[in-house]
Each structure stands twice: as C-alpha cells, then as structure tokens.
C-alpha cells in the first residue's frame, strides 16, 4: 500500500526514517548505480532525515574500510558531475558494515543486532530496505535467511498500515525461464508478502519511460488515434553499441532475449499499449500493464521460425573501433549458441490493437546506442495526390526516444515551395535536455525513493514476470531445440542479421533505423 503520493508531485518530501541494507555492498552495482543514486538523492534533500546505509558482503572489511571505500567511491563521481559533498555531509556516522556469508545464518543474526544499534543511533525506527545487489542465485536464500532471522516481519498498526516496514528490492534477472522464475517467486512468497517485494527494472526509472504515461494520458490529442484504426504498426528498438563486456559468465547463459525482453522491453511495450489506469495508484497501473501482456498472442512453434529472429555478432567496427566477435570475447564459449540480437513480431489480441504488429528488437554491437518506440500511423488516403510525384507519401511517425537523447518527435509531410506539388518529410521535435537541461542521473534515484515510500508502481509485480516468461517460452523452447546453424550471422556495427530486415520486409515495412 503506498503512502499518499502522486508520481507527479512538484515538491517531493524525503521519505520517513529507514536503513538501507545493501547485500553485495562491495560489488559493481553498488559502486556504479546505488551510491551515485544515493548521492543524487542526498543532493536534492530526498534521503530520509533519519537514515543509515548498512553494507553486507562476504569481503572481510570493517566499518572504517567500508566507510572509506564508500566515500571514495562517491567522491570519484564528482568527475562525472555528481555532488559528493551532499553525500559526505549526510554520511557522517551513518555507514555501517556487516561481514557475512549469504548462505549462513550467523551473519544474519549479527546483522539483526547491528540493525538494532543502527535504529538507536540513527533513529531508523526499524524500517529496513534490503537491496539485493548480488548474483541472482542468492536471491531466494537471502530472503529466506532474512525471514528466518526475523528481519522481514512488519509490525502493523491498529489502522492496518505497517508502522514498521520491511522491503526487499531484487534486480533482474527474475529467473532464467518460466520454471525458474516460478521457483524463485514461490520461495519469495513463502518467506515474505508480495507487497514487500520490489522487483526493480531500471528502465522504469528512466525519465522518458515514465514520460510515456504522461505523454499518453496527460494529453487529449494522442489517445483518440492510439489504436488499430490509425496505427499501422509499432516498433520498439533497444540497440546497444557495447558488446558482452566483462559479463560473459552471465550473458553467455542468458543471451539477448532473456536479458532485455521480458523485463525492459515488455515494460515499455506495456506502457505503450495499455489502457488508461483509473489512478496512478501502484496496483491500478500494474493491473493495466498485465492486461497487455496477457493479451499478447503466444507464438506457435512454427511461428517462432517466422516471427522470431536471433543473431550473434562477428568481429567488425563499431563507431570506428575494431571489436572482436562475440565468440572471441573473454569468457564466451568458442562455439557459443547464445544470441546477442533478438527480434520478434508480436500481436496484442484486444480491441485496441487487433492486427497491429508490434516489432521489437534488441542487440549488442549495433551501430548506435538508441532506445526508441516508433508509432507508425496508417497512410493518408492518397486520392488527392494520385497524379503527382507525391503519390508515394511516407507515413507519419511518432518517435518516442528513450535514450540517449530523450525526446519526442513527429514526422509529417509538407509541401516544398514551388509551383508543382512536391512533398518533403519534416520533423517536429521536443528534446528533454534542450528544454529542461540535464544533470547526471543513474535512473535508480526515483526507484530507490519510491521503494522507501512503499510505492511499487514502477516495480514489476509477480504476475508480470510470470506472464512475460510465458510469452517467451515457445521461443526459448524452439531455439533450444534447434541450435543456430548460421552463427555468427551479423557483423559488429551493423543492424543485426538480414532476417531481421526480412521480418518487416515480408510485411512491406522497414525498421526506422538502418538494416543490414
Ligand atoms: C541491463 C542488461 O539490464 O540493461 C545489459 O543486463 C544492458 O545487458 C543494460 O546493457 C542496458 O541498460 P541501459 O540503461 O544502458 O540501456
């Protein structure tokens, strides 16, 4: 249950007292995302007045080491435009560390004692936000151990609202397939209540992803045409220029489909396709999103062959730099069957979207880092221009650019000045940064802030995770039973395999950006 807060309040206030307990406190995620986000929240006075950060990790550090490494980490961010001074001021006496093994009860008992001390010293009132910044194989165990140590029990007041709250944030991947996702969800459900689980998807922390809802539902002009009568098809692209980087141990078992589609891309799809929620209450929004996923038509096995495309990059040049092929990357199996590119054609079987294809694609080592949603509208009736050079008018496109240049643009036709009728496409553009300026954000600030408030609107509910895996199961099964024979099948720095171009070409369409 969320506190009384609209996502669009102008002057947010700091959340109530709490301790943030980070499991995996010495890891990459903590350093790259969590500390910078806390630093940003501190700079905007959006950390609780009474708070503490407690690190939990296997590494044998003491409190002073942890405080030093945390402060050094935050200070290093100054170069990237963060304001570490605010954090330094607020961190005084508020950083704690507990060494422990994620799988052994002893560390959790010690954590419990430490948290009692923290409550006394920092006034954190027994409210704990546990952040599991650990490899996913520990999620179930940590939550079970926390519950066994009595650290997840909330204390309700007479009004039935918890006067002491305990929440757990977990990071994707939420399982590897439907079965493992269900197993994880079963373990979580046996230990804590679903209302205490905050499944983070950092895409939902991105300004422009959140803006999708505002754009659609705070404007009267788009909703009437946001349907099968006016929309020809929708494209969602999440393209990355990076390769597998240092993440082969995870990626070479996950691949592009598992890594990006059930979480980030399906969240974007749901925001684009959902009906208006009756309020911005967490469950009102999540109810609408899940309806979209439930309406996605499952692919039959034979359709997987025509509606799903996979690819793997070979060596090539990305942004002028030579990169090695995926199979030559450190930690990757030399004959790896794992895809670094995936594209799907999906249908949403409801009255709004019947017969409107949604084409989605994501990949590594593509020519540009760009995430965008493109709404392609139906062609105008062409009668008027039948006998002119304007007969082949391109369609109107509404481009919602999620990153890196967050903004919205609308493409339409105008007449070129002159005595004959010649048309030219032009673009009307809104660029977030130009209008509102920019400042360094990680995308985790809103999510951490919301979790402290207990607002789970931007977090994935269990049914979303389950349905997402259900949709993808036929693709995973067919791909598993038919190992790819053509890998590697695209050159790094190109827009994926030729089959991705053909996926749209067969329907007389083309991706907005590039092709092979
Ligand atoms: C992560 C994926 O969830 O998202 C990565 O595991 C991917 O493989 C990353 O690179 C992309 O995030 P962003 O914010 O850079 O688009």
pLDDT tens digits in sequence order for the chain, 516 residues long: 344 333 444 578 899 999 999 999 988 888 888 988 988 898 888 999 999 999 999 988 888 888 888 878 777 777 777 777 877 777 888 999 999 999 999 999 999 999 999 999 999 999 999 999 999 999 999 999 999 999 999 987 766 666 899 999 999 999 999 999 999 999 999 999 999 999 999 999 988 888 999 999 999 999 999 999 999 999 999 999 999 988 899 999 999 999 999 999 999 999 999 999 998 888 999 999 999 999 999 999 999 999 999 999 999 999 999 999 999 999 999 999 999 999 999 999 999 999 999 999 999 999 999 999 999 999 877 656 655 555 567 889 999 999 898 899 999 988 889 888 778 889 999 998 888 887 778 889 999 999 999 999 999 999 999 999 999 999 999 999 999 999 999 999 999 999 999 999 999 999 998 755
Q: Are strands 316-318 and 18-23 parallel, antiparallel or unpaired?
A: unpaired
State the DSSP H helix or E strand holding residue 428, giving kind and residue range, or none if neither.
strand 423-431
Q: Atom 5 in ligand 1: which residue has the minimum CA distance? A: 259
CA 266 and chain centroid, separation: 9
Q: What letter does residue 461 receive in the DSSP assignment?
A: -
Sign of CA dihedral 180, 182, 185, 186: negative
Residue that is written with structure tokens 């995973």 in the block? 476
Instruction: Give the largest Cα separation in the chain, rounded.
Output: 84
96, two tokens = 């704690």
Atom index in ligand 1 nearest the CA of residue 371 equals 16
Judge contact between 252 and 333, C-beta under 8 A: yes
Q: How many CB atoms sit inside 10 A of residue 329's CB? A: 21
Query: Long-range contacts of range 492-495, CB-CB < 8 Å, 24 or more positions apart?
Result: 492/243, 492/313, 492/314, 492/315, 492/316, 492/317, 492/318, 492/323, 492/325, 492/365, 493/316, 493/317, 493/318, 493/319, 493/323, 493/365, 493/366, 493/367, 494/316, 494/366, 494/367, 495/239, 495/366, 495/367
Rounded CA-CA distance 445/450 in Å is 8
Q: What letter does residue 416 receive in the DSSP assignment?
A: P
pLDDT for 391: 54
Helix (H, G, I), strand (E, B) or coil at 35: helix
Rounded CA-CA distance 347/231 in Å is 13
CA 120 and chain centroid, separation: 36
CA 488 and chain centroid, separation: 27
Helix (H, G, I), strand (E, B) or coil at 237: strand
Rounded CA-CA distance 114/322 in Å is 50
Give every CB contact of residue 225 below 8 A, 6+ residues apart in sequence.
231, 377
Taking the centre of ligand 1 as the mean of its atom positions, its distance from the CA of residue 186, in whole angstroms, is: 27
Q: For ligand 1, say whether the CB of 397 is within 6 Å of any of its atoms.
A: no
DSSP assignments along 148-209, one per residue: HTT-S--EE-TTSSEEE-EEEEEESP--SSHHHHHHHHHHHHHHS-GGGEEEE-GGGGSHHH
Q: How many CB atoms sit inside 10 A of residue 190's CB? A: 11
Q: Is the pTM of this model over 0.75?
A: yes
Of 493, 487, 228, 471, nearest in space to 364 by CA = 493
Q: What share of the chain is helix, strand, coil (3-state, %, to 5)?
A: 40, 20, 40
In DSSP terms, 426 is beta-bridged to 412
Atom index in ligand 1 nearest the CA of residue 202 equals 14
Q: For ligand 1, say whether the CB of 171 is within 6 Å of any of its atoms.
A: no
pLDDT for 440: 75
Rounded CA-CA distance 499/489 in Å is 10
Question: In the annotation, is 347 catalytic?
Answer: no
Atom index in ligand 1 nearest the CA of residue 403 equals 16
Buried b / exposed e along 211-230 (16+ C-beta atoms within 10 A): bbbebbeeeeeeeeebeeee
Taking the centre of ligand 1 as the mean of its atom positions, its distance from the CA of residue 430, in whole angstroms, is: 25
Instruction: Given the residues 202, 233, 264, 376, select the one marked as catalytic.
Output: 264
pLDDT for 323: 96
Helix (H, G, I), strand (E, B) or coil at 331: coil
491, two tokens = 């050159």
Q: For ligand 1, say whether the CB of 259 is within 6 Å of any of its atoms.
A: yes
pLDDT for 6: 38
Taking the centre of ligand 1 as the mean of its atom positions, its distance from the CA of residue 422, in whole angstroms, is: 43
Q: For ligand 1, say whether the CB of 406 is within 6 Å of any of its atoms.
A: no
In DSSP terms, 156 is beta-bridged to 162
pLDDT for 383: 59
Taking the centre of ligand 1 as the mean of its atom positions, its distance from the CA of residue 439, in whole angstroms, is: 20
Backbone region of residue 397 per phi and psi (left: phi > 0; alpha: psi in -120 to 50; beta: other values): beta
Q: Atom 13 in ligand 1: which residue has the minimum CA distance? A: 203
210, two tokens = 């959140």
Rounded CA-CA distance 468/261 in Å is 8
472, two tokens = 């993808």
**Substitution candidate for ligand 1 out of 171, 203, 318 with most atoms within 8 A of CB:** 203
28, two tokens = 């990459």
Q: For ligand 1, say whether the CB of 240 is within 6 Å of any of its atoms.
A: yes
pLDDT for 133: 94
């Amino acid at each position: 249950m969320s506190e009384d807060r609209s996502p669009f309040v102008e002057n947010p206030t700091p959340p109530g007292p709490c301790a943030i307990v980070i499991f995996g406190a010495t890891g990459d995620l903590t350093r790259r995302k969590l500390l910078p986000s806390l630093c940003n929240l501190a700079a905007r006075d959006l950390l609780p007045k009474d708070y503490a950060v407690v690190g939990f990790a296997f590494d044998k550090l003491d409190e002073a080491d942890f405080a030093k490494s945390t402060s050094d980490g935050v200070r290093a961010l100054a170069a990237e435009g963060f304001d570490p001074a605010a954090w330094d001021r607020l961190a005084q006496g508020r950083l704690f560390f507990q060494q422990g093994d994620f799988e052994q009860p002893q560390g959790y008992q010690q954590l419990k004692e430490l948290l009692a001390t923290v409550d006394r010293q920092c006034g954190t009132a027994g409210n704990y936000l546990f952040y599991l910044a650990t490899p996913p194989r520990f999620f179930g165990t940590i939550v079970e151990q926390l519950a066994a140590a009595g650290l997840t029990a909330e204390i309700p007041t007479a009004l039935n609202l918890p006067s002491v709250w305990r929440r757990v944030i977990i990071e994707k991947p939420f399982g590897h397939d439907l079965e493992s996702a269900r197993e994880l969800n079963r373990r979580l459900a046996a230990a804590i209540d679903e209302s205490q689980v905050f499944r983070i998807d950092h895409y939902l922390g991105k300004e422009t992803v959140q803006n999708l809802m505002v754009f659609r539902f705070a404007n009267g002009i788009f909703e009437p045409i946001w349907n099968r009568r006016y929309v020809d098809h929708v494209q969602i692209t999440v393209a990355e220029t990076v390769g597998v980087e240092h993440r082969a141990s995870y990626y070479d078992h996950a691949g592009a489909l598992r890594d990006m589609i059930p979480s980030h891309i399906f969240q974007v799809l749901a925001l684009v396709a959902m009906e208006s929620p009756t309020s911005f209450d967490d469950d009102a929004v999540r109810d609408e999103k899940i309806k979209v996923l439930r309406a996605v038509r499952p692919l039959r096995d034979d359709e997987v062959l025509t509606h799903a495309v996979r690819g793997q990059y070979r060596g090539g040049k990305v942004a002028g730099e030579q990169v090695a092929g995926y199979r030559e990357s450190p930690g990757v199996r030399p004959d790896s069957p794992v895809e670094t590119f995936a594209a799907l054609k999906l249908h949403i079987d409801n009255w709004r979207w019947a017969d409107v294809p949604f084409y989605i694609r994501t990949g590594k080592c593509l020519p540009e880092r760009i995430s965008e949603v493109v709404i392609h509208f139906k062609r105008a009736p062409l009668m008027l221009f039948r006998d002119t050079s304007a007969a082949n008018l391109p369609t109107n496109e509404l481009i919602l650019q999620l990153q890196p240049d967050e903004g919205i643009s609308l493409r339409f036709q105008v007449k070129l000045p002159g005595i004959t009728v010649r048309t030219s496409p032009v673009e009307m553009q809104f660029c977030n940064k130009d209008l509102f300026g920019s400042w360094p954000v990680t995308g985790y600030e809103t999510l951490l802030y919301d979790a402290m408030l207990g607002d789970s609107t931007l977090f994935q509910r269990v049914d979303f995770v389950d349905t997402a895996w259900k949709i993808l199961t036929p693709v995973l099964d067919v791909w598993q039973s038919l190992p790819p024979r053509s890998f590697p099948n695209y050159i790094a720095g190109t827009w994926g395999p030729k089959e991705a171009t053909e996926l749209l070409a067969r329907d007389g369409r083309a991706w907005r950006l590039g092709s092979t």
